[in-house]
Structure formats: C-alpha cells, structure tokens
Amino acid sequence: MQWNVSQLALLALGSSAMIATVAQANPTSNFTVVVGGVQNQQGRVCVSLFANSQGFPDRGDRAVRAQCVGVGKGQTAVTFQNLPLGNYGVAVFHDRNSNGKLDRNFLGIPKEGFGFSRNPTIRTGAPKFSEVAVFVAGTNNTAQVQLQYLLGG
C-alpha cells in the first residue's frame, strides 16, 4: 500500500488530536498554600489536603497529600504539584516541636498554631469540610491560611 502526502498528514493530525485529548482527560494543577501568622521559626509547618470530609481535619492518613516544611521568615509556602482538579480542604499546623502531630492540652485544645483554608472563625471545634473547601482549577492556584494560637502559642 502506498501512502500519499495528504494521507500521511491526516494520519499525523489525527494522532496528535488523540494524544491531546488523552492528555487533557486528567488535567492537573499546582496548588500553593501560603501560611502566615507563624509565631516563631521553631519546628515545621505541616499542610494536609483533603478531597472530602472523611478524616478532615484530624486524620492525616486520609489526606490526599501532605507535606511538612521548615518555617520560613514571614510567610511559609508549600506547593503541591500535579494535583487533580477539584475541591480540597486545607488543614495546617505549626509543628513547633517537630513531633509530627498537633499537640493538645488535657482538654483537647491545640497548644500549637493551626489554620484552615478560607480562614473560618474557630469557636468550639474544627470547621466542617464544606466551610473550608476551595476549588482547584487551572494551572496555578493559591490559598492563604492564617494560623491561630488559642493558648498563646
């Protein structure tokens, strides 16, 4: 079988369109969480992303992504790359003693700083996932989280 130039061009164009369609089938985004209000430069800032209410915010093993970084001067940024598009709840805490958990007093009140996407007012407990969910779409997204220290840090 002999192929002419126009048939080869059509074949190449069709293949390119098919590859582009497959590449767009699972779009991803980079999502940066910028954490402010860290009281000192001790320890780490830990950020967890949850795709639904299951485990939010206390069950880090249910987070779709989690990362701890050293505390920077001023604000601390944590970027999650190639994150599938969708709704995410962000939970952050200042792991001042680098033990990998949010320390609490005997009443269960956090002794370290913490915060959530959309910066909800904290009253008697953690907010609901629906109160903190942010939609991640497009190429690059950013959420600002301001830490709170209920016991003075």
> Could you say which of 1.10.287.610, 3.40.50.450, 2.60.40.10, 3.20.20.70 is the CATH number of the domain covering 27-146?
2.60.40.10
Question: Which pTM was predicted?
Answer: 0.83
Lowest mean pLDDT among 7-16, 63-72, 90-99: 7-16
HEC profile of 37-50: CCCCCCCEEEEEEE
What number of residues does the chain have?
Answer: 153
pLDDT in tens, 45-59: 999 999 999 999 999
- Which of 136, 98, 101, 103 has the alpha carbon at shortest distance from 117? 136
pLDDT value at position 79? 98
Separation CA 10–CA 8 (nearest Å): 5
pLDDT in tens, 112-142: 999 999 999 998 899 999 999 999 999 999 9
CA atoms within 13 A of residue 140's CA, in its CB half-sphere: 3
3 pLDDT tier (thresholds 50, 70, 90): low
Separation CA 94–CA 153 (nearest Å): 10
- The identity of residue 83, as a single letter, is L
